[in-house]
Structure 1
């Protein structure tokens, strides 16, 4: 069985890192990840540089990439202004980012769920008309920092709305990492009544060390696409204590051990993890990166 990995480190991972990364550093990271066999790599976000300075050079990143090649380089677009910038930069795929929590939506997007879905519908319609692919994200599918547990029916409602507006895939995010396998089963059982498992992805944070277990649970429910971040980069600024996304190399170790195919070279991803961690002046979060260690020839540049 084939499992698709959507690498979110260059966007979702780096956007919450305080240490600036140069354009050259970002491009080498992306190139290393693409060389590993990853075919879906989030390359940037067209958001306000005032709020997310790390993403201010996203247009320059896209300009340096082969957008017509075999690797997909989606970018996050929060509104129509962001879509204008993404279109001008030549983006071929965008992502819109909603939430299953009313409180989180208001804190993160300054609008409630219904208003956010209306805004995303306008963005999605324009993007589809321009020939772009659109992916949808749903935050807080297993818990919210303001509301606690979220009803699976609420997750299903938001996921169904994103699919209805034209998103080809819906990524379900455990933003604060509080989920456990039984709750993953309950949530996916509800969502699958509205959206086929083939159009769903899992996006798990590892705050409580449950991300790998939750991925296993999602696999059991028929989900075969997962978001992950090289070296476990990132976190959620709106969720106190939330650690980064599950590390790509940890996910690869799991999938390979289960005999599942990804087309991705684990050693190259581990080398990329050490590369970006060196640029950030920190150690990789992932256990696999530490277990396998550095390649003797690896040199940090950028």
Structure 2
């Protein structure tokens, strides 16, 4: 495959690009190195990819429609994985327009490029955040996700609707992946593992929202990218059993389209996550128990059965193993002495 991966300076994108290259595929890596968080970390992720056989490094904004069109025309990718986005639920309360630029305009420019230069499979990142006010656990792609609680989640839901429209109008085989809390080495500084590790080692309190009564479907990054790799050669088709009188939101009777959860399929308590991190660091956290933040939800739980049946996806990394690997990377990258 020749895979155009956007967000290759990002956490999941860098890991996916490395895995695809290791399997012998070509990767066209696109990233604009947004300063949303430490650009040096993004550069360090890219440094592990640049120079590898089969990797093309492209510095560009996916919302630049002319650049994306030219990129597709010149390199003719066979597959697309769009992971570039303005991330973060809480940041969307402060900088809403950055979300429409990256998440709405960005996806649209890629869909237009795929319309002009067809691909075998267009995969894009959605999010477990789209489930919003839905409390029916585990979260199923076949149930309603019509009540997002943040602008970030709303843009991801809009992405799903946009993708279905283009799949229908222009026969672009399209899969949206709803990611659940991904963690591991080379993770994002705005996510709990690194925020907590930074604070614990500095002796600062960590903010624990909803007074610790939170559960997350923590999924190790290697399991995530293995699932994406397995999915790429399996584009969706129009579902002949789809009933327009009882429409299934995860499939379509008028488009080669589907939505899949990708998570561990096992929610774990936030306090257990913190305790596991404390053990790996050899330090105890000072916990600042706080109320729920606006736009957040108390629990996530992925029903990943469809992805498992389709690809054999089997996330197996235990939380203790994943956190130990994260801490090992953290200590090495930041030159920390425990």
TM-score (norm 2): 0.38
> Greater CA radius of gyration, 1 or 2?
2
